[in-house]
A and B are shown apart, each in its own frame.
Chain A
């Protein structure tokens, strides 16, 4: 399916609510859960979830949601998760991705990490503009969500405190090809965005499948 057709499938408001709910969970979601969360009937939710899967926006699988197995565990249920394929439409046609890849390749070869980091930090500060440093995690969550990071709070492993993790890397394709360069750029951008003298800080804490940065209180010791 062409990108423009896949994106057009989201024009239906119910379908769009379902897509946004499933995408925000970061895990497989069953029909019942999606129906309840979006306030539509189960059969209608199932219909639209399958249309989203046909459009390639969701991937499907089947799981026993009860956690039981063997006889009496029941039939596996159909589950949905956001597809990893990127979709974009630009009118007129633009190709910033090729430009980004070429610039990243040249910057990597020339060892321009420091210059790129400085530019990213300045951009982060400029995006914040007059708003000043983020005051708390709730404000940072809004700022990061507006920039497409899909942030969510997580209880830190070693202490009774919350941090923000981010499900989405807005620079995914170039970050995969040039991780130290582009992840370093992203960290600098977030540092500028959060503000250097505020109560929050960004720190690199990479793990598979997510943005490599964690946002936390700057008072906290590194664990």
Chain B
């Protein structure tokens, strides 16, 4: 999917989420989560403010990519604003998936979600995303790497998307 940057440069919000599976993805105990992948990803694609999400080569989602460890699945996407991402994450069918997180994932002691601003049209790489997560874990929230609870406005030089 390509979406050319608009003439006026807009900031968009990138997010990376990592989750450590309690069992392999093909284990029957994880099956309820796997069944929810397609409908919830489809809901994301159609959600207000959705821009882009990472998928593996020839795959419908990113669960086959394991850049952060063999048992760690990742989820990366770009949104028009923190509000749009929040509404999808916690005010759509996705909420029921995160509500059941303890059934499928190990509890993370460190941050498992990181947000950062990117110029409109930019598609973050996994290296870039993991570097932001490491930044958040090492230094706490900053304009380079933050969370919903510690959101930063779009940086100077990039005009934040307005809903």
A residues whose Cβ falls under 8 Å from a Cβ of B: 111, 113-114, 177, 179-180, 183-184, 187, 204-209, 212
What 7 new A-B contacts, CB under 8 Å, besides A179-B95, A204-B99? A180-B95, A183-B90, A206-B91, A206-B94, A206-B95, A207-B91, A207-B92
Q: A113 contacts which chain B residues (CB < 8 A)?
A: 99, 101-102
CA distance A113 to B107 in the complex (A): 11
Given the known interface contacts A204-B95, A205-B93, A207-B92, the answer about A177 and B149 at a Cβ–Cβ threshold of 8 Å is yes
Given the known interface contacts A111-B107, A208-B87, the answer about A180 and B93 at a Cβ–Cβ threshold of 8 Å is no
Q: B87 contacts which chain A residues (CB < 8 A)?
A: 208
Q: Pick from B91, B92, B98, B149: contact of A180, CB below 8 A.
A: B98
CB of B96 within 8 A of chain A? yes
Q: A177 contacts which chain B residues (CB < 8 A)?
A: 149
Could you list 17 examples of A-B contacts with CB < 8 Å? Answer: A113-B101, A177-B149, A179-B89, A179-B98, A180-B90, A180-B95, A180-B101, A184-B99, A187-B99, A204-B95, A204-B96, A206-B90, A206-B94, A206-B96, A207-B92, A208-B87, A209-B91
CA distance A9 to B92 in the complex (A): 37
CA distance A206 to B91 in the complex (A): 5
Q: Is the CB of B95 within 8 A of A212?
A: yes
Q: A180 contacts which chain B residues (CB < 8 A)?
A: 90, 95, 98-99, 101
Q: B99 contacts which chain A residues (CB < 8 A)?
A: 113, 180, 183-184, 187, 204
Q: B92 contacts which chain A residues (CB < 8 A)?
A: 206-207
Residue of B nearest to A179 (CB): B90
CA distance A204 to B98 in the complex (A): 11
| Count of CB-CB pairs between chains A and B under 8 Å | 39
Q: Mark B38-52, 1 if CB is under 8 A from A, else 0.
A: 000000000000000
Q: A204 contacts which chain B residues (CB < 8 A)?
A: 95-96, 99
CA distance A177 to B87 in the complex (A): 13
Q: Is the CB of A114 within 8 A of B102?
A: yes
CA distance A212 to B63 in the complex (A): 27
Residue of A nearest to B96 (CB): A204
Interface centre among A114, A177, A184, A205 (most CB of B within 10 A): A184
Q: Mark B68-101, 1 if CB is under 8 A from A, else 0.
A: 0000000000000000000101111111101101
CB distance from A213 to the nearest CB of B (A): 10
Residue of B nearest to A112 (CB): B102
Q: Mark B132-150, 1 if CB is under 8 A from A, else 0.
A: 0000000000000000010
Q: B91 contacts which chain A residues (CB < 8 A)?
A: 206-209, 212
Q: B93 contacts which chain A residues (CB < 8 A)?
A: 205-206
Interface centre among A177, A187, A206, A209 (most CB of B within 10 A): A206
Q: B102 contacts which chain A residues (CB < 8 A)?
A: 111, 113-114
Q: B94 contacts which chain A residues (CB < 8 A)?
A: 206
Q: B96 contacts which chain A residues (CB < 8 A)?
A: 204, 206
CB distance from A100 to the nearest CB of B (A): 16
